Chain A
Amino acid sequence: MTPLLVYTLITHVMTGILAIGLVHLVFMHFLKKAPSWKYLQALSGWSVILFLVSWATSAFYYVTYYGKAVKPKIMGGAYPWAHQVFMEAKEHVFVLLPFLTLALWLMIRLLAKEQDEKLKKAAMFVAFITLSLGAFIALSGILISGAVR
C-alpha cells in the first residue's frame, strides 16, 4: 500500500466519522428549545463538505486498491460475508448521506430565518435517519477492517 493510499484511507475514515459526529451534534441541539441556528448551519454545512471529501477519497481507495488487494483477501478468508453483505451495503448506502445532509443544511438555513415547529421536527428526523445510516456505515467499516486480518 503506497503512502498516498494510506493517507487517502485515513482521510476517508476521519472525514466520514467527523461528518457523522457533526450530524449527531445537530440532532442533539435540535432537542433544545431554542437552538443556535447559526451554529447548526455551520455544523450541517461542514458535515456536507466532509461527506463529499469522504466520498471522493473512498472512490479513489475503493477503485484503485480495495477491489484488487483487499477484497480477494476477505473473500478468501473466514468471513467473506463481510464484503458480500457489509461492504456492498456500506458503499451503496453511503451515497445517500451527502444528499440528506445537504437537505438538512438547507432546512436549517430556513429555520434560522423562520421558526416552524413542523419543519423543525422534519429536520430532526432527517438528522436522525442520517445519523442511523451513518452509524451503520461506520460499524460496517469496523467489521470489514476486522475481516481483513
Chain B
Amino acid sequence: MDTNNDKKIQKIQAAAEGIIVVAVVLAVLTIVGELWAPLKNTLKSIFTHHWLGKSALSIIFFAVIFLIRSNMHADMTKLPRKIYAAVWISALSAFAMTAFFIAHTLHLF
C-alpha cells in the first residue's frame, strides 16, 4: 500500500474516532442539559443559545480529535471495526436523545 493511501486510512480512522466522541458528547450535553439547568444555562451564556453551544462544541471536539489522530498510526485491518463502532454509537446517540425527549414529554422523568 502506498504512503498516500496510508494517509487516507489515518484520516478515516481519525474521522471515525471524532464521530464517536461527538456522538457521546452531544447525547450527554443534550440529556444532562435538560435535567440539570445550570449546564443548559452555561451553554446559553457562552454561545447565546444552547443549541449553538452544542453545535460549536461538536465541531471543536471533532476538529481537535481529527487533527491529533490523523497523523497517528492506523491499521487497515482494524479500520472497518472502528467505522462500525462510530456508526453504531451515532445511531445509539440519536436513539437515546429521541427516547429521552419522548420520556421527558410524557413526564416520566
A residues bordering B, Cβ < 8 Å?
55, 59, 62-63, 67, 81, 84-85, 88-89, 91-93, 95-96, 99-100, 102-103, 106-107, 109-110, 113-114, 116, 118-119, 121-123, 125-126, 129, 132-133, 136
19 contacting pairs across A/B (C-beta < 8 A): A59-B51, A63-B48, A63-B49, A84-B105, A85-B105, A96-B26, A96-B90, A96-B93, A99-B18, A99-B19, A103-B12, A106-B8, A113-B4, A113-B5, A122-B83, A125-B84, A126-B83, A133-B94, A136-B94
A91 to B4 alpha-carbon distance, docked (Å)? 37
Judged by DSSP, the binding face of A is helix
- Residue on B nearest A121 in the bound complex, by CB: B80
Number of A-B contacts (CB under 8 A): 106
B16 A103 Cβ-Cβ under 8 A: yes
Query: A95-B26, A99-B22, A125-B87 known; A89 and B98 CB under 8 Å?
Result: yes
Judged by DSSP, the binding face of B is helix
Query: A103-B15, A113-B5 known; A93 and B94 CB under 8 Å?
Result: yes
Query: A99-B62, A119-B80, A125-B87 known; A106 and B11 CB under 8 Å?
Result: yes
A3 to B80 alpha-carbon distance, docked (Å)? 46
Query: A89-B97, A99-B15, A99-B18 known; A63 and B52 CB under 8 Å?
Result: yes
A84 to B100 alpha-carbon distance, docked (Å)? 10
